[in-house]
């Protein structure tokens, strides 16, 4: 999940730990092209593509994706680049451009699936704080190969579609026009929820809040998708967003006093914070065990009003009247936590747990869903979620860059139905890791 400035994990060994014989040896497997911005330790490419190459622990045992990465395009190669080592270790070839990586030099599409992981790397930012990752440019070149070849294949696009709404919309239009199955977005919707929380389809919600750390925009998409994967299950389904606004500084707390977002729900979300070292003492937790841990924590002495120097609020008003907010608290928090008030007055809250460095186990959960896309040619959850949140984030950053004004968003009339199952992870947290010392992740000491 790191964006180049946060949470970069230690360098993994160049030679993976021997996890024993792979069941893939000697098999003819569907092929994958990996289109990456960078491939350094801790990058999204490393966490995603390494799992396809080496395998990873899932549901208590080592799992080897039944696919073969045959080609890579890597846009930037810093001194910490891993791609050269990985291609030598796994009989994969690096190509100088995206077209060649997709065609394997044949002139037409020659792979069965595409991983588009354009995250991390040294790219410029604009005046609104958006990192100008070239996902759209990667995607456009990929679409050109699809069009020229007269066929397309399943695509995974990491994080939001683009920092720009018009580009994101074009990407979705091409997906629909060419008819290829696509999965996109953050790993937050599929990670562990502590305690487990799944709203039934048709839930009646009054308001919702997410608390989140890190960069306002770079982690904003994670916060928005955390919000969306919960509220999309509300009565009537998703009908889109009517307006957005980005507030900063004292205006954030003033908006809470005015009732524009719920300060009570922020407290409920912050209640769910837990140190990683505590959570990783065991591989699975019951809700009862978690409530016992929460009840025995010491109280927090410093309120966010005094502990956060530069708070930011991403305010979202949905077309059906639901109001929600994602509150960026910088280093005051290290977690993504969610709380909502139901129309009957009850408050529900949970921690979206992102544990397991350096193997960052939540990336493995996401890879599990990418595998399902490649295998079944359909996504486990709708790409429209990511399209809507890409648009919301783009326009929120417009608000941030234009005097924090309230922006009506008729263009965000994205309608879709939530999946029947929320798709979040319920299995044990993994400890086996081919690129960890001795092939096993050691949880941090408390």
- CATH number of the structural domain spanning residue 48: 3.40.50.720
CA–CA distance from 363 to each of 47, 237, 239, 360 (Å)?
A: 6, 28, 29, 6
37 shares a domain with 98: yes
- Reduced 3-state DSSP string for the chain: CCCCCCCCCCCCCCCCCCCCCCCCCCCCCCEEEEEECCCCCCCHHHHHHHHHHHCEEECCEEECCCCEEEEEEECCCCCCCCHHHHHHHCCCEECCCHHHHHHCCCCCCCCCEEEEECCCCCCCECCCCCECCCHHHHHHHHHHHHHHHCCCCCEEEEECCCCCHHHHHHHHHHHHHHCCCEEEECCHHHCEEECCCCCCCCECEEEEEEEECCCCCCCHHHHHHHHHHHHCCECCCECCEEEEEEEECHHHHHHHHCCCCCHHHHHHHHCCCCCHHHHCCCCCCCHHHHHHHHHCCCCCCCCHHHHCCCCEEEEEEECCCCEEEEEECHHHCCCEEEEEEECCCCEEEEEEECCCCCCCHHHHHHHHHHHHHHHHCCCCCCHHHHHHHHHHHHHHHHHHHCCCCCEECHHHCCCECCCCCCCCECCCCCCECCCCHHHECCCCCC
**φ, ψ dihedrals at 212, nearest 5°:** -145, 155
Per-residue model confidence (pLDDT) at position 196: 97
pLDDT digits (tens, 9 = 90+) for 384-404: 999 999 999 999 999 999 999
**What CA–CA distance (Å, rounded) separates 75 from 206?**
45
197 shares a domain with 71: no
Which residues have CB under 8 Å from 105's CB, separation 6+?
95
Residue whose tokens read 């990683």 = 276
177 shares a domain with 46: yes
**What CA–CA distance (Å, rounded) separates 20 from 432?**
12
**7 domain-assigned:** no
**21 domain-assigned:** no
Per-residue model confidence (pLDDT) at position 16: 86
- The strand pairing partners of 194, in sequence order, are 351
**48 domain-assigned:** yes
**223 domain-assigned:** yes
**259 domain-assigned:** yes
**106 domain-assigned:** yes
Per-residue model confidence (pLDDT) at position 231: 98
**φ, ψ dihedrals at 293, nearest 5°:** -65, -45
Per-residue model confidence (pLDDT) at position 12: 55
161 shares a domain with 92: yes
122 shares a domain with 64: yes
Per-residue model confidence (pLDDT) at position 431: 87
pLDDT under 50: residue ranges of the chain: 2-10
236 shares a domain with 197: yes
What's the number of domains the chain is made of?
Answer: 2
Per-residue model confidence (pLDDT) at position 444: 67
Burial 256-289 (b: 16+ CB within 10 A, else e): beeebbbbebbbbbbbbbbebeebbeeeebeeee
Q: Which two tokens stand for residue 310?
A: 């530069």
Query: Considering only CA atoms, which of 433, 1, 328, 330 is closest in space to residue 190?
Result: 1
Length of the chain: 446
Are 55 and 12 in contact by the 8 Å Cβ rule? The answer is no
Distance between the two ends of the chain, CA-based, in angstroms?
Answer: 23
**What CA–CA distance (Å, rounded) separates 156 from 366?**
10
Residue at a domain's end among 353, 373, 392: 353
263 shares a domain with 366: no
Residue at a domain's end among 338, 353, 368: 353
pLDDT digits (tens, 9 = 90+) for 204-244: 999 999 999 999 999 999 999 999 999 999 999 999 999 99
Per-residue model confidence (pLDDT) at position 355: 79
Are 115 and 159 in contact by the 8 Å Cβ rule? The answer is no
64 shares a domain with 75: yes
346 shares a domain with 208: yes
Range of the domain at 39: 31-187+360-383+422-439
Residue at a domain's end among 311, 336, 353: 353
**388 domain-assigned:** no
**366 domain-assigned:** yes
326 shares a domain with 373: no
79 shares a domain with 54: yes
CA–CA distance from 255 to each of 93, 314, 323, 337, 351 (Å)?
A: 53, 11, 13, 20, 24
Are 158 and 176 in contact by the 8 Å Cβ rule? The answer is no
299 shares a domain with 369: no
């Amino acid at each position: 999940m790191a964006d180049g400035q946060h949470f970069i994990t230690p360098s993994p060994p160049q030679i993976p730990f021997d996890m024993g014989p792979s069941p893939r040896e000697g098999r003819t497997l569907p092929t994958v092209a990996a289109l990456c911005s960078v491939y350094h330790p801790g990058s999204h490419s490393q966490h995603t593509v390494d799992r396809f190459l080496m395998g990873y622990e899932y549901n208590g045992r080592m799992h080897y994706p039944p696919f073969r990465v045959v080609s890579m395009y890597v846009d930037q190669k810093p001194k910490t680049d891993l791609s050269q080592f990985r291609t030598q270790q796994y009989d994969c070839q690096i190509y100088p451009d995206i077209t060649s990586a997709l065609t394997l030099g044949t002139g037409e599409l020659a792979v069965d699936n595409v991983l588009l992981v354009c995250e991390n790397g040294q790219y410029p930012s604009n005046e609104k704080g958006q990192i100008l990752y070239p996902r759209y440019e990667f995607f456009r070149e990929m679409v050109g190969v699809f069009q020229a070849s007269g066929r397309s294949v399943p695509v995974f696009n990491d994080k939001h579609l683009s920092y720009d709404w018009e580009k994101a919309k074009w990407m979705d239009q091409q997906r629909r026009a060419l008819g290829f199955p696509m999965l996109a977005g953050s790993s937050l919707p599929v990670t562990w929820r502590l305690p487990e929380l799944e709203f039934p389809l048709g839930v009646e919600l009054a308001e919702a809040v997410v608390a989140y750390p890190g960069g306002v925009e770079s982690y904003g998409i994670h916060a928005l998708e955390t919000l969306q994967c919960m509220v999309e299950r509300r009565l009537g389904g998703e009908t889109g967003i009517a307006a957005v606004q980005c507030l900063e500084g004292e205006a954030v707390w003033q908006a809470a006093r005015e009732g524009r977002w719920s300060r009570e729900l922020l407290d409920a979300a912050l209640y769910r914070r837990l140190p990683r070292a505590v959570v990783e003492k065991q591989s699975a937790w019951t809700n009862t065990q978690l409530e016992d841990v929460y009840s025995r924590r010491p109280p927090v002495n410093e309120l966010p009003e005094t502990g956060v120097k530069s708070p930011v609020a991403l305010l979202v008003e949905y077309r059906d009247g639901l109001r929600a907010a994602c509150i960026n608290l910088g280093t005051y928090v290290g977690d993504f936590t969610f709380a909502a008030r139901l129309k009957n007055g009850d408050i529900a809250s949970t921690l979206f747990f992102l544990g397991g460095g350096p193997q960052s186990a939540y990336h493995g959960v996401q890879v599990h869903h990418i595998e399902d896309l490649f295998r079944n040619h359909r996504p486990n959850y709708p790409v429209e979620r990511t399209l809507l949140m890409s648009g919301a984030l783009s326009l929120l950053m417009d608000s941030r860059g234009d005097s924090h004004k309230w922006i009506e968003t008729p263009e965000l009339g994205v309608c879709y139905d939530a999946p029947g199952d929320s798709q979040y992870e319920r299995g044990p947290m993994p400890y086996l890791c081919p690129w960890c010392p001795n092939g096993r992740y050691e949880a941090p000491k408390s």
